[in-house]
């Protein structure tokens, strides 16, 4: 092989390997982006679930307090009907 061909093959190999490295780097960065995308999706789902759970606890507190008040009033009313008149 002549010197010109050797030199050209050397330079062509450099260019080709540079392209391969760039493609591999792009694929790696793309995989990183995909991982970040999945992570963000899961974080959003987790935040939504957390919001629902937090509100559920608050709802339970409010409704249980109101139900207890209602039961108390009902019990007091029922107790007053059992008492003899004038008691």
Partner 1 sequence: MAPLERRGSALSGKGGNQQDVQIRVLACSVGLVIALAPLASFADETPGSHLQAELDNAAAQYALAQQQVDELQAQANLSAQNERTIALLKSEEFRVHQLDVSANGMAIQQIGQALANAIRQQGEVSARNELAIAQIKASALVVRADSNLANALARPRHRDQELAGAVKFPAPPG
List of residues contacting partner 1 (CB under 8 A): 2, 4-9, 11-13, 15-20, 22-27, 29-31, 33-34, 36-38, 40-41, 43-45, 47-49, 51-52, 54-56, 58-59, 62-63, 65-67, 69-70, 72-74, 76-77, 80
For tokens 């509100």, the residue is: 55
Minimum separation from the CB atom of position 17 to partner 1 (A) = 8
DSSP secondary structure, 24-45, as one string: HHHHHHHHHHHHHHHHHHHHHH
What is the end-to-end Cα distance of the chain in Å, rounded?
123
Minimum separation from the CB atom of position 83 to partner 1 (A) = 9
Residues composing the chain: 87
């Amino acid at each position: 092989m002549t010197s010109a061909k050797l030199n050209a093959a050397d330079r062509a190999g450099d260019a080709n390997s540079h392209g391969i490295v760039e493609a591999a780097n792009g694929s790696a960065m793309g995989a990183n982006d995909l991982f970040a995308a999945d992570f963000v999706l899961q974080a959003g789902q987790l935040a939504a679930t957390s919001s629902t759970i937090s509100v559920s606890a608050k709802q339970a507190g409010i409704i249980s307090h109101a139900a207890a008040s209602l039961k108390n009033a009902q019990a007091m009313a029922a107790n007053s009907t059992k008492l003899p008149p004038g008691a």
